[in-house]
Copies of this chain bind each other. A is one copy, B any other.
């Protein structure tokens, strides 16, 4: 059997998630503004019609706001996706729904209760993307002067996982009776306090939510650092990653597999999906023209604000036309991004780097006809490995995903690499048919 691909919709609950200025669109074609819940309903229902695995929401807790990020809507403002997802559950039947929630900001009892409730409400369609949060701006919205050091965040997160797993297991399978004849609701001997007393957390329990369809949310993680990969290999059912070429993909997959084995886990049970932003049109030239049009409206200040946000550093005061190597920056932001860029091109400037960052220009083979893009997706899976793609729109979301449904999805289905009907009823069913019911223990 041909290996199946997972394809998801990946966004932030904001005006322009991963393509700068994508909130700008011809007014006559805008049916709903992003501030209206109908905009998100239309996207969710479109993803479901396309049989995509899920709607996945990245998220952060603000901070790092500067004039450019407000003026151009650089991943700002951003509303709370945990409040949106139940609404989307009510207007879909099958689509998986995954939310990002931070172990630094949500108390573990609160998170465990919310996700168990959401698993009930969605009838088993909920996923959790674990983040430990990263930026000083976020910390300062939560009474801290700065984030805890990187490794401590992960130490805390390891214990956090222990706590939430205990809570999700605090009801035995046969504890709930709802015996109306004898007036017995549940068996007290089968509902357990957890009495967790650890280095970072003290939690009594039990969870106040009955066992939910998936029992635990399907678990995602996207750590790219050494410690983050280790955390993913230990706890995640699916790792979300970004890679620039098949070599990087292959080496990431191998690394996760090695680490998983260290924790006694079957690497085949850990899925890996890649961030992607295809731009599909009826002809290659139409797709390229579309890309030009999208890029032309991006001011350099906006690109710098996004890059600076991801680096957790204000780039505004720097000379953006000097080689980065000459700026003597002490930035160790996500994935050693600056170092990597300088390694590829010793003369690269911030202007050059910013202008190609999340503006589609390094996205060559993902731009073209459905056939061209499907060819490339299959090639990436075969040569690079992994299990599918998290797709984030480069223009007005409802139209972007409708275009994928019309062109790309049928092409993938014809090749037999993507489902034509949902397999099962839960997100865990879709992502991993062979998953043990309690995968993430």
Contacts and interface: CB of A to CB of B under 8 A. Distances in A.
> Interface residue tally of chain A, by bracket?
35 or more
Contacts of A142: 107, 109-110, 203
Interface of A is mostly: loop
Nearest to A77: B208
Interface in A194-209: 201-209
Contacts of A330: none
A65 B201 contact: no
A233 to B, nearest CB: 28
Contacts of A187: 70-71
A80 B183 contact: no
Interface stretch (A86-94, A246-254, A257-265, A355-363): A86-94
Interface string A206-235: 111110000000000000000000000000
Scoring A27, A67, A109, A116 by chain B CB atoms within 10 A of each residue's CB, the highest score goes to: A109
A113 B210 contact: no
A322 interface: no
A204 B65 CA distance: 10
Contacts of A406: none
A43 to B, nearest CB: 15
A180 interface: yes
Scoring A21, A106, A110, A123 by chain B CB atoms within 10 A of each residue's CB, the highest score goes to: A110
A140 interface: yes
A84 B178 CA distance: 22
A84 B86 contact: yes
Contacts of A90: 37, 41, 86-87, 90-91
Interface in A81-118: 82-87, 89-91, 105-107, 109-110, 113-114, 116-118
A61 B109 contact: yes
Scoring A141, A187, A193 by chain B CB atoms within 10 A of each residue's CB, the highest score goes to: A141
Q: How many subunits of this chain does the assembly comprise? A: 2
B117 A188 contact: no
A401 to B, nearest CB: 20
A185 interface: yes
A207 B23 CA distance: 20
Contacts of A27: 180
B209 A71 contact: no
Given A37-B90, A109-B141, 17 more contacts: A24-B180, A37-B89, A61-B109, A61-B110, A62-B206, A65-B206, A67-B188, A70-B187, A71-B186, A73-B186, A77-B208, A79-B113, A79-B209, A82-B114, A86-B90, A142-B203, A143-B203
Closest 7 CB pairs of A and B: A90-B90, A73-B185, A67-B188, A140-B204, A86-B86, A80-B117, A70-B188
Interface of A: 13, 15, 21, 23-25, 27, 33, 35, 37, 41, 61-63, 65-68, 70-73, 76-80, 82-87, 89-91, 105-107, 109-110, 113-114, 116-118, 120-121, 123, 137, 140-143, 178, 180, 183-188, 191, 193, 201-210, 297, 299
